Structure 1
């Protein structure tokens, strides 16, 4: 007697196997979490832990780098005519020269409220390159 084998027909599965996609997504998540802190850029700013106070009258007068509404830069250090606009490289050279003589002299930025953010940042980066350890921002007293 001869036996005949009947093959069972397999039905095709119409589902998507998502396990490999989950593995890939987890690897990408880990890569993005590890690289995200490395991509951020900015100017280092030390935020105060308490309410701000005006500078002491006994401290050295600060170097005041100003930006007006037109985006012109000025420096008030006592030796240059503060009404003549300067270029960023001139301000950087003057601040670097002053900080070599007086390294603990504070540096502050006085900017008009209508000046674009980028203009203020360019000035702060220039002051940082000149050797200013920290740059303060001048404000008007609140009402």
Structure 2
């Protein structure tokens, strides 16, 4: 009885299995991802330049993303880095309250420049309180020479 010929003889010549990995497509994809991250990273670091006051308070523990209201040295208001005119600030605060009607009030971080008039900050806090937004945290930085953490998580690296 004749035993069949080896598989390579029956079907013609077969190539041996390839044992190398072609890394060229992997390198191409990684370079494209690197370029995308290099272009988008500066866009993620935005904020309003505010010189925050210093204190010795501990950092707040929070899980949800707060609404950030910033007041710079010129008294201009920003809600989540979007400029808001003085005339429409109350309307925007009312929109925030209406969006959370029937729910627990959202956490509001109020960032005000240390050089700003105290009355301006109190007017914004009064408008927030009038709309029922009473979970307000005043953001500050750690006092120089103190071992305390910031009073709230830093909103942007441009905070002084």
TM-score, with length taken from structure 2: 0.47
Q: Which residue does 1:55 correspond to in 2?
A: 60
Contact 2:105–2:135 under 8 Å retained in 1: no
Moved over 4 A (4+): none
Question: Which residues of structure 1 form unaligned runs of 5+?
Answer: 1-50, 77-81
| Superposition deviation, residue 69 in structure 1 | 1.1
Separation of aligned partners in 2, 1:130 and 1:105: 12
**C-alpha distance in 1, partners of 2:110/2:75?**
13
Counterpart-to-counterpart distance in 2, 1:110 and 1:101: 26
Secondary structure in 2 aligned to 1:64? strand
Higher relative contact order (CA 8 A, sep 6+): 2
In structure 2, the residue corresponding to 1:84 is in which secondary structure? strand
Asked if the contact 1:71–1:115 (Cα under 8 Å) also holds between the matched residues in 2, the reply is yes
Q: Does residue 71 of the first structure (1) align with residue 64 of the second (2)?
A: no
Cα gap change, 1:104/1:52 in structure 2, threshold over 3 Å: closer, same or farther?
farther
C-alpha spacing 1:98/1:53, structure 2 compared with 1 (3 Å)? farther
Change (3 A) 1:61 1:101: farther
Is the Cα contact below 8 Å between 1:65 and 1:108 reproduced in 2? Answer: yes
Q: Is the 8 A contact 1:99 1:131 kept in 2?
A: no
* CA deviation after TM superposition for structure 1 residue 60, in Å: 0.6
Q: CA deviation at 1:95?
A: 2.2
Highest CA radius of gyration, 1 or 2? 1
Q: Tell me the number of residue pairs that the alignment of Structure 1 and Structure 2 aligns.
A: 87
CA shift at 1:104, angstroms?
4.3
Aligned to 1:7: none
Distance change in 2, residues 1:141/1:101 (3 Å)? farther
Q: Does 1:142 align with 2:149?
A: no
The CA RMSD over aligned residues, in Å, is 2.1
Shift of 1:112: 0.5
